[in-house]
Amino acid sequence: MAIPKYTLDYDKKEDDWKLSKQGTGQVVERFETKQVATKGGVLEKAVGPGGGSVRIKTKEHVIQEERTYPGKADPKRSKG
């Protein structure tokens, strides 16, 4: 079964960061800053107990990194 995919992206209109589910565009949660969203397990809690893969983008909408929650669900080994 494929894990759900999410994107953390800057929303210029709302001047905040939104975590949305890919495919549906449904906004799961909003954050005041990117730093708040990416610290201390906040994204892991936001994607829920089923976990998922989160693409984190820059303000310019370029993919900066991708994280998988929980970590053991990562489909491949990586150096990072």
Domain ranges of the chain: 5-73
Residue 73 is predicted with a pLDDT of: 53
Residue 2 is predicted with a pLDDT of: 82
Long-range contact list for 41-48, CB < 8 A, 24+ apart? Answer: 43/8, 43/19, 43/67, 43/69, 44/69, 44/70, 46/19, 47/4, 47/6, 47/19
Question: From the first residue on, what is the mean pLDDT of each consecutive set of 10 residues in the chain (80 residues)?
Answer: 91 97 95 95 92 96 93 59
Residue 40 is predicted with a pLDDT of: 87
pTM assigned to the model: 0.84
